[in-house]
Amino acid sequence: MPGSEAAGALNPAAEPGGDMLLPFAFEETLCRDVGTGLVPPSVHLWSHPGGVALGLRDSKLPRAAEAMAELEGKGYRTAVRHSGGAAVPLDAGVVNVSLLLHKSPGKLDFHDDFRLLASLITEAVAVSHPQAAAQIQAGEVAGSYCPGDFDLAIGGRKFCGIAQRRQSSAYFVHAFVIVSGSGLERGQLIRGFYDTAADGNDALAYPRVIPQTLAALGELGGPASAAVFAEGFRLALARRGVHLQSAGQLRQTAGYSLQYADPRVLEAAKVLRERYAR
């Protein structure tokens, strides 16, 4: 997305009701439209009121269905997502950020795009909290949920993880950013899921979550408000010369409109649910 010619659509911190698959289905649909040129490279920011998004491998653990039922009983929606990674809690204090980009012919290495999103998140934090941003480091945080090479942490405590999803002509790079609330409590939630889902089988491959390795940006000296982080992300893009259009502006200038309630999004959610359900 770098450069003054790039454009994007921004949906700041949308809260899509109860169905956790709707924002993922929205991105799946939007990504296809980016690939066909119907819409420019886009940015999607959203939060969910409360749920846990599982990775495909999580859903195949021996007592995953029971563990998911336990979460539902506690008021957490559950869904299996199609992007990479493992279980993560999603709530109003977690901002999900996705870059949806054209895929160049023959492109195989997506590490630069992980680095791009990591740097944008760091720059977003720096807008309001430069001292915290200066302490952000990238690299897998052992003991965190959904661990990966592009975890972002301050003082060894993870607040962000990054995954990606590819289509034939476009792809998106997605991050969850823990902005407010308790990282410890979220870690305990996911550890409890795995305790039930794995049924005590230490031979299985799943993250061994140590709740103390997680923290929210607000606990680490960074922004403690989703709105502040979202505005920081917008400014970080603008400083790179990216011209953003809101969804409303895009509808006026290009005649393009896509909402969570769009029939194409609802159909994509149905397909994801059927394809990735346990």
Q: Known catalytic residues? A: 146
52, 58, 116, 140 from 270: Cα distances, Å: 18, 20, 31, 33
Residues 6+ apart with CB under 8 A from 263: none
Residues 217 and 178: beta-carbon distance below 8 Å: yes
The answer to whether the beta carbons of residues 11 and 29 sit under 8 Å apart is no
* DSSP secondary structure letters along 121-156: HHHHHHHH-HHHHTTEEES--TTSSS--TT-EEETT
Residue reference for tokens 């909290």 = 129
Angle between helix 64-73 and helix 183-197 axes, rounded to 10 deg? 140
Joined tokens for residue 146: 């959904």
Check residue 142 and give left, alpha or beta (phi > 0: left; psi -120 to 50: alpha): beta
Q: Which residues pair with 244 in a beta bridge?
A: 8
Residues in the chain: 278
Q: Give DSSP secondary structure letters for 159-198.
A: EEEEEEEE-SSEEEEEEEEE-SS-HHHHHHHHHHHHHHHT
Pairing of strands 50-54, 88-91: antiparallel
